[in-house]
A and B are shown apart, each in its own frame.
Chain A
């Protein structure tokens, strides 16, 4: 395993000849191209924007968010707020079958492709990103990299081990399988939000 990681650390994960002048602007453009919503929010304004998104919703699930956001999320006025951590799989499935909102902090963001990158060791991040109707990722500016390969190279170094899955999410789910007409959602979330908190 260690040998494997060492080898991975020796790759050149940078995409040559690619220079992104304004990461945030590129990210904004790309994530919207995918059909997602992108916000740069001041910490103070985050709560209000979240409130407007979850208006009328009933349930929320979250995982992997830092304490200050957790406080904020816990205080949102919703019927059910679930923190997804180790527990009964059957219960989690029951609770998440028609959960409205999912929130997490992604491991990295890639500007060039407008991607949310998740290193998932126990399945919780995948559940939160795939099952709810609305998926919200709250990221800090330091999580932004130029490209997906660059983000992966950095995360492998950071964790020094490979997760069970790496999930790369580019906006909300969609299909064009009937006469090329694009419809959202298909089986995943209908809306995807990416917040960059300053």
Chain B
């Protein structure tokens, strides 16, 4: 995106009064929740530090971290793939999933990053986003506004308009919308050929995949279909299972959830019920060879810096391309385009609020400054 395109997108968002109000209210609420969660868990700051240290050791030499994880992960009916580019990942998917198959998918930022859903649809695969926010984004054909709550800016009315034709009944309030989607999705869960999940963390000692959800969509996605596909990226690898558990706990606390309803730790296919084979694809997409913005890879995608950002508070997901606001800018530079990142960086106020809230203490303003100053 050019500077002009970003400018236009932001101006458009500024004119939407309801978006501004909704977004302001939502962010205030989110920040309060986060503060409370951190205060309640006295160990949260210590754990954040442990996570940062554990992650740093893995990021020091990403290539050998990948190798360690691969060795621990591979086994009977467990297949490991490394994808250097988004196209590599898509080719692997096209190999595994034949056109005409049905896939239930839970939320994955890596999937968003490379527009995987759009690719799979064009490949003739029926894909259903099973996270409610992500399902709404799929129906609206939009991009997520936030890493944790993708449809944070969507009004109830708009959600109703999108859901009623799919569910095929009148949906009077949020409760009936959620229950309508549950009923609609249930049949699909039970008959899908593949489940697809992202990972919040991977452990190099046990080769485990750890992911968290609230809705139970990840639970069904990873237990009902016969085949499971995990798509994730290289910076998610932690030295030990204990570090990985601390990482997902820290992510939940700093995103304000405190606890997610489910934490799934997947070690292998089941002896009996559940998936019989697991395919894991690890994406690089610019991460490994990125020395100048390497600090970005410490990010555990809790979304705290997005809510703390005064620009995000006003224009929401309009400021960004897939990865929005604050840390979204270096993420965009690494995984998508430096030019787009530079256009976005021009709108950063350099207030430093993002750095204050980040559990990994990433110097986000400095990363943005480097992008602005064309040092990367």
Contact = CB atoms under 8 A, between A and B. Distances in A.
B267 A166 contact: yes
- B42, B245, B259, B264 pick with most chain A CB within 10 angstroms: B259
B223 to A, nearest CB: 5
A18 interface: yes
B154 to A, nearest CB: 7
B261 A187 contact: no
A106 interface: no
A186 B266 contact: no
B263 interface: yes
Contacts, number: 185
- A17, A120, A148, A175 pick with most chain B CB within 10 angstroms: A175
B217 A120 contact: no
Contacts of B267: 162-166
Interface stretch (B2-10, B171-179, B299-307, B365-373): B171-179
A92 interface: yes
A197 interface: no
Interface string A78-97: 00000010100100110001
B132 A126 contact: no
Contacts of B266: 164-165
Contacts of B217: 186-187
Contact of B216 (A86, A113, A186): A186
Nearest to A13: B242
Contacts of A152: 241, 245
Interface residues of B, number: 64
A47 interface: no
B214 A173 contact: yes
B273 A122 contact: yes
A75 B246 CA distance: 42
B224 interface: yes
B109 interface: no
Given A177-B149, A178-B132, A188 B156 contact: no
B262 interface: yes
A44 B131 CA distance: 41
B43 A15 contact: yes
Main secondary structure of the interface of A (DSSP, over half): loop
Interface in B140-193: 149-152, 154-156, 159, 174-175, 177-179, 182, 185-186, 189-190
B352 interface: no
B272 interface: yes
Contacts of B26: 179-180
15 contacts: A8-B206, A18-B43, A86-B272, A114-B259, A124-B272, A152-B245, A166-B267, A168-B263, A173-B262, A176-B214, A177-B149, A179-B154, A186-B216, A187-B182, A187-B217
Interface of B: 22, 26, 29, 42-43, 46, 72, 130-133, 136, 149-152, 154-156, 159, 174-175, 177-179, 182, 185-186, 189-190, 205-206, 208, 214-217, 219-220, 222-224, 240-242, 245-246, 249, 259-274
Interface of A: 4, 7-8, 11, 13, 15-18, 34, 84, 86, 89, 92-93, 97, 113-115, 120-124, 126-127, 129-131, 148-149, 152, 162-181, 183, 185-189
